[in-house]
Amino acid sequence: MSRPNAGSETDPWRAPVIVAQIPDAGLHRELEASVAQRQALADIAGLRDILSARAAFDLTPKSGGRVHVTGQVRARIGQTCVVTLDPIENDIDEEIDLMFAPEAEARRLADLIEEGQDSEEPPEVADPPEAIMGGIIDLGRLATDALFLAIDPYPRKQGAVFEADVITPDPEDHPFAALKALQDGKKGQ
């Protein structure tokens, strides 16, 4: 997932959590995108509409300033069938399981993994943690990324099958047919 913490004007669904305020026992957050947020997300994603978008997250503090974020993003989106061009609706149900770490540590671990890919030995860590930027984890951005990554780029209406028109080529219709006709004409003389 890209940029789960980066905030900008193009992030309509924002739900920042200040890492320092997460209790030792953890934190549970539930989000629901408003009508305006859903419309803005649909425009960004190129969807007809987003009928609903909800997310639930559990944030668990770990040693070294890390935070384990688990959760689920559910949405119902409106798309257009690529075969029939009919409007269709699809459900999205994505699991989230990410580790976040302070920015410097996340960079250091990403560099270690990159160095490990150059050697024959397997890297120490499979995936680097996501960076905590400015002491904040933006759950809305995290939900948006999960939602966008789950969108089927070629949605099809159930049972819709693309059938190409099959045209049987005429054996006399090929690039050299005119030359053959000229040659056959000369033979007849």
Query: How confident is the prediction along the chain (189 residues), in pLDDT tens digits per residue?
Result: 444 444 445 789 999 999 999 999 999 999 999 999 999 999 999 999 999 999 999 999 999 899 999 999 999 999 999 888 999 999 999 999 999 999 888 777 777 766 655 555 554 446 788 999 999 999 999 999 999 999 999 998 887 776 666 666 666 676 777 777 777 766 656
State residue 150 phi and psi, 5-degree precision. Answer: -90, -5
Residue 98 pairs with which residues in a beta bridge? 69
Contact 8, 17 (CB under 8 A): no
Q: Could you tell me how far CA 138 lies from the centroid of its own chain?
A: 17
Q: Is residue 3 part of a domain?
A: no
Decide: helix, strand or coil at residue 29: strand
- Give the global pTM: 0.72
Q: Is residue 1 part of a domain?
A: no
Domain that holds residue 180: 16-187
Q: Is residue 6 part of a domain?
A: no
Q: Is residue 101 part of a domain?
A: yes
Q: Is residue 86 part of a domain?
A: yes
